[in-house]
Chain A
C-alpha cells in the first residue's frame, strides 16, 4: 500500500531585487519531483548538499512552503492544508534531525523533551506520561533514570536516541530521517542504524531516509532516489542503483564511494578517471540546454532514469 505519494513537488524561492523588491527570478530548490513510499519500506534520498533532498523532507511537514505539486499521505492530500490544519497529520509523520547537539533544547530535561509531543496531542495523567516516557527510554536503550537529566549529560549517540524516542511517542507511521547519523562516529552510527531497523520491525515504520553517505543509504534502504540540482535523476531498488547505475550522475556518485580494499586503489582511481571523462563527454545527453535533468522514464518495473 502506498503510504506517501509525492507528485510533481516544486519548491521555488524567489530572488528579489530592485527598489520595490520585485521578483526577478527563482531558485529552484526542488523542481518537479515525484516518487512514492510503500508502507513499511525505507526510501533513501541521496544527493550532494544543495541537491534539494532535505527541502523535500521539510516540505512534507510544511516546515517550508511548497510552490506547487501534491503530497498525498494515507489518501489525504496534505498540500491543500494550512500549517494549522496539518496538526492531526503531524502525529503520523515525525522527523529525526541531523545534529543531536542542536536539535534538543538544552534547558529541558529529557523527560520533558520526550513528553512534549504527547502533551501537544494527548491528555495523559502525570503517572501515565511518566510511564510512557520510561517505556520509550527503555525502547531506545537508555536507562529510565536518565529522564531527569539534561541533554548535555549524554553522548552524541545517546542524544540521537533521545531525538528518536521523542519522534516515536506519538506512534507515527512515517519517519523522515534527515541525515540522522552523519554527525556520529562509525561505531555510534552502527548503533543508531541497527536501532532504527529494530524499531522499523517493531512499530511497522516507514522511513524516508535522507543522506549523503552512500554506504549508509545502501545499508538502510529498499529503494533509492538520486537527487541532483532539485531533480530526481534516477530511482530504483538498491541493487539496481548500485550494481547497474544508468544515469551519468549516479555513476559518478557510485564511483566516488571509498574503496575499502587498499589493494584495489589503482583500479578505483582508473575507474574514477574514466567516469569523470565520460561525465564531461556525455553531459549534453543527460541534461537539457538549461542544465536541467530530463523527466524520469521507466526502464524496468522498478527502475526509472532521467533521460530525454
Chain B
C-alpha cells in the first residue's frame, strides 16, 4: 500500500490558560495521501484551526504544548527544532489562510511576498525568482500577472487576493497544502472558482490537501475524505460518500440537518441544543456530545468513548450513534 504524506498519531495540542494546559486538539489521528483532499469539519471552537496550526507548528510556543506524532514523510515534526521546521514550512507544507486581506502584508508588493518563499527555499537568481513568481501568478489565474506582481494587496479584489495567497502556498511545490477556511470570506461565485483552482493545481502536482472548513457544502463539492471534529476530538471519519450518504455520529447528522438549502422553503431548520463546550470546562471522561442530546439515555453512551470501525475507512466515536434519533421524530 502507498505511504501517506502525512500521518498524524494521537496529536494533542494544549493551550496554557491560567498556568494550566487544556487540550484543544485531543488525541487526533489521521493520514493524508498523495492527490487527496481531506476535509476537517466542525464548528468554531472544535479545534480544527488549532489542528492546522499545529501541523505547521505555528502556535506561540510559550503557551502551547504539542504531544503525539506528526509524521511528515516518515519524519516526526514534533521533534523538529525551529530551524528544521523552517525547512518544512513553505517548502514542504504550504498553508492558505481564511482572510486574504489581513494575511498579506499591506506594505509589500504581491510579487515580493510570493518571492520571499523562493528566496528562503531555493537557490534561484533574482531574475529567475521573478520569472517563477509571474509563472505562479499565471498558474493561479491572475489575468495580468506582470502588473499584479508590482501591486499591493489592497489593490486586488478578495478573490484575487486569495489567489495570491494560494500562489504563496504552492510556490515551492509543496507535497502538502493546508487550506484553513479558504473560501469563507468570499462570495459564492468566487468560492467556486477558488475550489476549482485548488483542484486543478492538485491535478498537476499530486499534492495532498487538508481542507479546514465549517461549511459542509464546500466539503461535499471537493473532499475525498472527511474528518468531523467536535470539542477537540475526531467524532467521525470516512469517505465523502460514506459521510454524506450514511452519516452516523449524532453530531454529523445534526450538522447536515441544519443546512438551510436541504429542506424545503420556510420549514423549521434543525437546531442543536446547547453550546459547544469551552476547553476549560469540559467533561473529558464521557461522550462530549452527550450534553447536547439529552433525550438519548446515558446507557447508550460509552465510558471514555473510542472510535469504532463500522465499515472500511469509516470510523465513529461512541456507541450512541446506534441509539440516536432526532427529538420529535
Q: Do chains A and B touch in the complex (CB under 8 A)?
A: yes
| Contact surface of A with B, Cβ cutoff 8 Å | 48-49, 155-156, 185-191, 193-194, 197, 212-216, 218-220, 238, 252-253, 256-263, 265, 268-269, 272
Interface residues of B in 203-242 (CB under 8 A from A): 214-218, 220-221, 223, 240-241
Chain B residues whose C-beta falls within 8 Å of the C-beta of A188 in the assembled complex: 43
B187 touches which one: A49, A155, A269 (CB < 8 A)?
A: A49
B188 within 8 A of partner (CB):
yes
Chain B residues whose C-beta falls within 8 Å of the C-beta of A218 in the assembled complex: 260-261, 265
Check if B192 sits within 8 Å of A186, measured CB to CB. no
Contact flag A262-B220 (CB < 8 Å), given A186-B43, A256-B192 = yes
Q: In the assembly, what is the distance between CA of A6 and CA of B101, in Å?
A: 34
Chain A residues whose C-beta falls within 8 Å of the C-beta of B187 in the assembled complex: 48-49, 212
Nearest 10 A-B pairs (CB), nearest first? A215-B261, A258-B217, A190-B269, A219-B260, A190-B258, A185-B43, A48-B187, A256-B188, A187-B272, A262-B240
B216 touches which one: A155, A186, A194, A219 (CB < 8 A)?
A: A186
**13 A–B contacts from the bound complex (CB under 8 Å):** A48-B187, A185-B44, A191-B271, A194-B268, A213-B260, A215-B260, A215-B261, A253-B188, A256-B189, A258-B192, A260-B261, A262-B244, A265-B221
Contact flag A219-B188 (CB < 8 Å), given A186-B259, A260-B261 = no
Tell me the dominant secondary structure on chain A's binding face. helix
Known: A49-B187, A263-B245. 19 other contacts (CB 8 A): A48-B189, A48-B190, A185-B44, A188-B43, A189-B260, A190-B269, A190-B271, A191-B269, A194-B268, A197-B266, A214-B188, A215-B259, A215-B261, A220-B260, A256-B191, A258-B218, A259-B220, A265-B220, A268-B221
Task: Count how many pairs of residues, one from A and one from B, have CB atoms less than 8 Å apart in the complex.
Answer: 108
A149 to chain B, nearest CB (A): 15
Chain A residues whose C-beta falls within 8 Å of the C-beta of B221 in the assembled complex: 258-259, 262, 265, 268
Q: Determine the residue in chain B with the shortest Cβ distance to A254.
A: B188
Q: In the assembly, what is the distance between CA of A268 and CA of B192, in Å?
A: 11
B310 within 8 A of partner (CB):
no
B258 touches which one: A187, A212, A256, A257 (CB < 8 A)?
A: A187
Contact flag A262-B241 (CB < 8 Å), given A197-B268, A212-B187, A257-B188 = yes
B311 within 8 A of partner (CB):
no
A257 touches which one: B214, B216, B261, B266 (CB < 8 A)?
A: B261
B270 within 8 A of partner (CB):
yes
B254 within 8 A of partner (CB):
yes
Chain B residues whose C-beta falls within 8 Å of the C-beta of A191 in the assembled complex: 269, 271
B102 within 8 A of partner (CB):
no
Check if B191 sits within 8 Å of A215, measured CB to CB. no
Q: Determine the residue in chain A with the shortest Cβ distance to B257.
A: A190
Q: In the assembly, what is the distance between CA of A215 and CA of B266, in Å?
A: 12
B117 to chain A, nearest CB (A): 29
A276 to chain B, nearest CB (A): 9
B158 within 8 A of partner (CB):
yes
Chain B residues whose C-beta falls within 8 Å of the C-beta of A252 in the assembled complex: 189
Q: In the assembly, what is the distance between CA of A213 and CA of B187, in Å?
A: 8
Chain A residues whose C-beta falls within 8 Å of the C-beta of B218 in the assembled complex: 258
Q: In the assembly, what is the distance between CA of A137 and CA of B191, in Å?
A: 37
Chain A residues whose C-beta falls within 8 Å of the C-beta of B43 in the assembled complex: 185-188
Contact flag A49-B158 (CB < 8 Å), given A252-B189, A258-B217 = yes
Q: Determine the residue in chain B with the shortest Cβ distance to A221.
A: B265
A219 touches which one: B240, B241, B266 (CB < 8 A)?
A: B266
Chain A residues whose C-beta falls within 8 Å of the C-beta of B214 in the assembled complex: 185-186
Contact flag A253-B189 (CB < 8 Å), given A186-B259, A260-B259 = yes
B262 within 8 A of partner (CB):
yes
Contact flag A219-B270 (CB < 8 Å), given A186-B43, A187-B255, A262-B241 = no
B275 within 8 A of partner (CB):
yes
Q: In the assembly, what is the distance between CA of A186 and CA of B158, in Å?
A: 23
Q: Determine the residue in chain A with the shortest Cβ distance to B267.
A: A219
Q: In the assembly, what is the distance between CA of A48 and CA of B244, in Å?
A: 29
Chain B residues whose C-beta falls within 8 Å of the C-beta of A258 in the assembled complex: 188, 191-192, 215, 217-218, 220-221
B124 within 8 A of partner (CB):
no
Q: Determine the residue in chain B with the shortest Cβ distance to A249.
A: B189
Chain B residues whose C-beta falls within 8 Å of the C-beta of A190 in the assembled complex: 258, 260, 269-272
Check if A261 sits within 8 Å of B220, measured CB to CB. yes
Q: In the assembly, what is the distance between CA of A265 and CA of B195, in Å?
A: 12
Q: Determine the residue in chain B with the shortest Cβ distance to A262.
A: B240
B217 touches which one: A48, A219, A260 (CB < 8 A)?
A: A260
